A and B are shown apart, each in its own frame.
Chain A
């Protein structure tokens, strides 16, 4: 579902954000991406979203080779990815309902269908009763769940989350990750960037470890859960 082949990303000024990174995430897989800040997690995510282009190597997402596509194809690629941000990125002047409906409006879906699907997505994250509320009236955890509802409402095959638990307390974080696990169980490919090592260990999923732009470890699922610490360079 997501394949990196010898991907190098060099920013203007010579900074190498990623060096020769290779990995594959198959459909239906769930993995964590970890490493210190500046290790290249965000760059990797940006490449998947076509916010940046790889300097060298190939990035394949959802069967499409992004490195061979023009920038005008980016919206189509992004419609196949549900993105969850650390700071939620909800629109403050729109209700919860309208926020979640955004990807469906972009897709030009009938309003009746939009209503059904938005309510289903909000129901899934347990916030159906807040659909008429404004984002600022919600707690941080609730806002994050709205962000997830927005990411899944279009039923994309891939979910990307950038530090989704960054501002949440451990209990809320665990709830959130369990929600990701549920979605993954329904067949969605999930990649979560996080530096919350304790939580990652607890989940027992595959872990990709980045350090200084290089992929230094790729721990298969089922190992971290049994007590081994993922090594972070």
Chain B
């Protein structure tokens, strides 16, 4: 085949694609209600794993802001005075951790305030509280919290004058466990709901093929080949998937907007200044494309089979 003939063929092919594209859009627009219902189903199906993803991602980034919470508390012996406490604090600072010293008086004041026994101090002849140091990872700490905590625990326990090292990160372990579970759950949901999207689109395309059997027959009679007949359905599948994903993103944004203030209140109670994050542009685009791809898969699986069935019924040679 000559170069020119090839070019002409390529151009014809391009135009056919374009006609199919417009035809698919036309069909979606002309069946507004049916399209909307399908999109709603797809949108909800995709919003569930997406929502979980956003929740897990947000919790993970809180996890990264662990400096406030990943603390190690050191209780000194009662014999330790302010000088040796300050000495230890200095040693700690030199090892790149942030440390806050709490004197017995401050400790008593905090206790009185938080327990409600405003005159707790009066009950004791002498302040029973020791000096306390609270360690938090420095801003430049890159170590995982677990490792950081156990390292400090070991170091502190060997130090003279230390009575007790209290490590309060059990709940962080629990959070990490929950996050792992959440991510696992997200994977399961993503697989299941992706499958659901494929099936929903496949079924929708099946109905489309059935309702347009007359048109398919006519197209076949006037010389359309299998590809040309199939093309608009494939485009439709892609649109269903992509618009479904778009709806899912919108639903998710609405949910984030709705949940923002209670969530921020909750996080504030944990002492975190934190803004709820959405997906971001790049991930949103990825979601749209994935949705389109899933729809395309569903359409592909469905259209071939049902066109063949239709062809057998009508004796049209597809």
Contacts and interface: CB of A to CB of B under 8 A. Distances in A.
The answer on A and B forming one complex is yes
A78 B222 contact: yes
Contact of B223 (A51, A52, A79, A111): A79
A125 to B, nearest CB: 16
Contacts of A91: 214-215, 218
A93 B217 contact: no
Interface stretch (B7-15, B178-186, B241-249): B7-15
Q: Binding site of B, secondary structure by majority: helix, strand, loop or mixed?
A: helix
Contact of A105 (B11, B19, B218): B19
Contact of A106 (B14, B217, B228, B317): B228
B173 interface: no
B214 A106 contact: no
A190 B316 CA distance: 22
A104 to B, nearest CB: 9
A45 B107 CA distance: 101
A106 B221 contact: no
Nearest to B218: A89
A106 B220 CA distance: 10
B12 A109 contact: yes
Contacts of A49: 221
B317 A50 contact: yes
Contacts of B219: 102, 106
A41 interface: no
B16 interface: yes
Contacts, number: 71
A108 interface: yes
A111 B223 CA distance: 18
B315 A106 contact: no
B16 A108 contact: yes
Nearest to B221: A83
Interface in A21-39: none
B15 A109 contact: yes
A76 interface: yes
Interface in A118-172: 150, 154
B29 to A, nearest CB: 11
A103 B223 contact: yes
Interface of A: 46, 49-52, 71-72, 74-81, 83, 85, 89-91, 93, 102-103, 105-111, 150, 154
The 6 closest A-B pairs by CB, nearest first: A108-B12, A79-B223, A78-B223, A75-B225, A74-B317, A108-B16
Given A78-B222, A105-B16, 16 more contacts: A51-B316, A51-B317, A78-B220, A89-B214, A89-B217, A93-B30, A93-B215, A103-B223, A106-B222, A106-B225, A108-B11, A108-B12, A108-B16, A111-B15, A154-B222, A154-B223
